[in-house]
Structure formats: C-alpha cells, structure tokens
Amino acid sequence: MRKNPVITIAGAGSLRIPALIGSLIYYKETLPVAKIILFDIDEERLERVKAYIDLTLKEYYSEAEVLFTTKEEEAYKDTDYVLCNMRVGVDTMRSVDEKIPLKYGLVGQETCGPGGFSYGMRSIGAMIDMVNTVRTYSKDTWILNYTNPAAIVAVALDKVFPEDKRIMNICDQPYSMIKSFGKILGEDMYDLEPRYFGLNHFGWFTSLKNVKTGEELLPKLKDYLMGHEFKPFNAEQRDPSWLKTYKNVNKLMQFFPEYVPNTYLQYYFFAEEIVKDSDPNFTRVDEAKLGREKKVLDILKKAGEQGNLTDIPLMQGEVFGNLMVEVVDSIHNDLNKVFVVIGRNGDLIPNLPEDAMVELASYLGKEGAKMIPYGEVKPFYKGLIEGQYAYEKLTVESYLEKDYTKALQALTLNRSIVDPVKAKLVLDDLMDHSADYWTLEKKEL
C-alpha cells in the first residue's frame, strides 16, 4: 500500500485555505493524508485561520497530524507535496496592481496587463527562493505551484530550474470552466475530457469529449453559448465582476466562434470597455473584501470566539481546493487523470517557440505531467500567443537581469497596453510603489 503523504500548504494564512482543508476532508477516503503542515511567513495571517482549521481537523480529520508553523525547516524538511499559494505583498499590493493602471486608462487586473506584470515581478523572486529552500531538504518533493500570475512564474521557474521535473504549474480557471460546462450540458465534469491550447489565462478549448460515450460535446456547448448567457456553475456565489467576466465569453465568441475562449481573454480583446466600466477607487480587491472574504472572516472569527464548531458551516467545495487535492491524488496514486497544466512546449505545438510555457491537456501520474501534443495552431492564434509569450519572457528577463528596457518592451508588447508612452508611465508609477519587492533603474527618454 502506498504511503500516506505529508502535505505542506505554503501561504496557509490565505482566506482560501479553510476551503482547501474542506477539500482534504472531502477526499480523505481516496487520499488519506498522514500530516498537514500549514506554513506562512506572516504569523498574524496564520493565526486568523488557525482556530477554525484546528477545530475542523480535530472534528473531521483526527487521523491526520497537524502542524502550524512560520519556520521554513519545519514546513519543508519532511514533506511530499508543497501546495504553493503565495500572495507576495498581500492585498495592499494587489490594490496597487489594480488601481495604478486605471490612472492611465489601462486595465487594472491582478494577473493581466500592467497589474499582472507588477504582481509577477514580486512573485518571481519569492518563488525562486522557495524552490531553492525546498530543494535544500529534498529533491523529490513535489512543488505544485498555484502562485499567480502563473504564466510569468512558470516561465521564471523553467528558466532558473530547467532540469527540475517535480515543479508543476497549474491554474484553476480551466477546471472551473469545465465544471461550468458540465452544468450547462447536464454532464458530470469528471466524464468530460478537454483539449485546450494556449498560455495560462490566454487559451482556448477546442474539444470536450464524454469519455464514457465518446461523444464530442463542444459543438453542443458552442451552440448554447452563442444563444445563452454563460454563467459559472456557482453564479449565485460569485461577485458581480466575475459574472460579467463569464458573460464576455459570449461576446468574444460572436467575433471568433471557432473555439471556446478562456475567460481572461476579455482583458486583451475588450480592454477599453473594461477600463470604462471600472471604478478606479473600487476594484476587484475591494469587491472581494466586502464579499467572499468577509464571509470567511466572519466564520473564522466565530470559531475563534466560540472555541467550537456549533452552528459553523464546513467550508468545502471550492474549485481551488478541489483542484489542488485532485492533482495530488492523481500524482500520488498514479491515476493519470486529465488536467489542463502549464509546461515547456518543446514540439507539442510545433509552430510556437520551444521554450514557451504552454497550457495543454495533460495526464497526471507518478512521473508528473504527460502533456498531450496539440499540433500546429492557426495563424490568428499563433500571432496572439507569440506576442503574449514575448511579453512573459521579457518580464522574466527584466526581473532576472534588472533591465528597465526589457520591462518597458514587455509592457508595450502587452495587448492591453500597446502604447509605449502609457507603458512607461505605468511602469514608473508601479516601480515607485514596489521598491520593497523589485527595483529597476529608471531611464529618462
């Protein structure tokens, strides 16, 4: 019988982690865990989730040993999987990423456009340090990276650790979309096997088969989306801006109906409209604080005050947590289930750069991801992807080389910006607010 794994959750003070614990509880029969290590460098953030998580695990998962820690050695020394959920700069810097671009008429979003660039510049160094630390204790530990912006982080980790085969970069948005497709089609999402190509937050679904019947369901899905508003499976729980994000898939398909696009493509195709609809004083970070995060904080506070779980719901069923646990399950138990994963292209898409970190359907087993070759992509998609990948690559190089010119080139290439004047304005402003995390030497024109 395979050994029950030890799992470390890095960034465990996040308000997403209580629901991840709920996912570990939900899957404990198929993936029994020997020990759960909850690690965060910020003791205050860790304390706010501790009472609820501790009570929950004692009630529902007493079989698992539990450790809360702010010490790297305790977090990484004897663990099989590190689930990486960092947010460098926390909500303070997220607010900077979302609001500063709007000053210049640019998209204010945490993973796309100039906000994504800024977040990426913070995440790169922290992730490199984390991988180096984990590897001082074990070369075999799986590092499952969900740290955003995943596209930029994946390029950086591949460049710095090209031979490390136990780093996996993955995003929950394709998973969330597949779950939503299943609800629309009346299908169990686990019977649906996708084909997908692109980069993280920049890709398209091209096939959706029922693995039991062999039926290709993408035409049926496209017919539905061309005539009905696209809603996420959990629409009643989503903030208003997220509902608009899904609705923009319908709009994009009116122009390009061949494939079903990732929701994040809205920021590159409808940038002017999104800026016009944005409030520079109230962005998604503020919406989250007043919505989902407030609900979680209220539950955490009640658990801490009561010291028990009476009348307190078990947080469970969130996409983020379920995906993380299912990925560990598929690797640990060699299930070879299909997930959409980020990895080095090589010749998987022959007419794209070999070093591009592409996002493709992949089988996950004990050897990691076996990405399914896609073949050549058509000129329209090739052009879009090459431009976006050049932006990602230049962003990483600007950080590693401390090269201001490459940073400016990266932002000018980004479809949500294009204008070099605006690119310089927003770059310089973001730099002024980010000195504690990344620095470049400004150049005057």
Q: Which residue has the tokens 């960034």?
A: 11
Q: How far from chain centre, in Å, is Cα 301?
A: 27
- Smallest Cα–Cα separation from 174: which of 82, 293, 260? 260
CB 90 within 8 A of CB 16: no
Cβ within 8 Å of residue 304, ≥6 positions away: 51, 52
Catalytic residue among 172, 196, 268, 404: 172
> Residues 313-327, buried b or exposed e (16+ Cβ, 10 A)?
ebbbebbbbbbbbbb
- Smallest Cα–Cα separation from 413: which of 197, 149, 114, 154? 114
Q: What six digits make up the tokens of 393?
A: 């690559």
Q: What six digits make up the tokens of 108?
A: 């204010």
CB 417 within 8 A of CB 179: no
- For residue 260, the SS3 value is strand
Residue 115 host element (H or E): helix 113-137
DSSP state of 75: H
Q: Is 139 exposed, middle or buried (0-12, 13-18, 19+ CB in 10 A)?
A: exposed
> Residues 37-53, buried b or exposed e (16+ Cβ, 10 A)?
bbbbbeeebbebbbbbb
Residue 146 phi, psi dihedral angles, 5° rounding: -115, 10
> What's the rounded Cα separation, in Å, for the pair 128 and 123?
9
- For residue 67, the SS3 value is strand
- For residue 268, the SS3 value is helix
> What type of residue is 213?
T
Of the chain, the end-to-end C-alpha distance in Å amounts to 65
Catalytic residue among 52, 60, 264, 399: 264
Helices (H), 307-433: 319-332, 379-401, 404-413, 420-433
Residue 264 falls in the annotated catalytic set: yes
Residue 128 host element (H or E): helix 113-137
Helices (H), 213-291: 218-227, 240-255, 266-269, 271-277, 284-290
CB 27 within 8 A of CB 326: yes
Q: For strand 142-145 and strand 260-261, is the pairing parallel, antiparallel, or unpaired?
A: unpaired
- Which are the catalytic amino acids? 172, 264
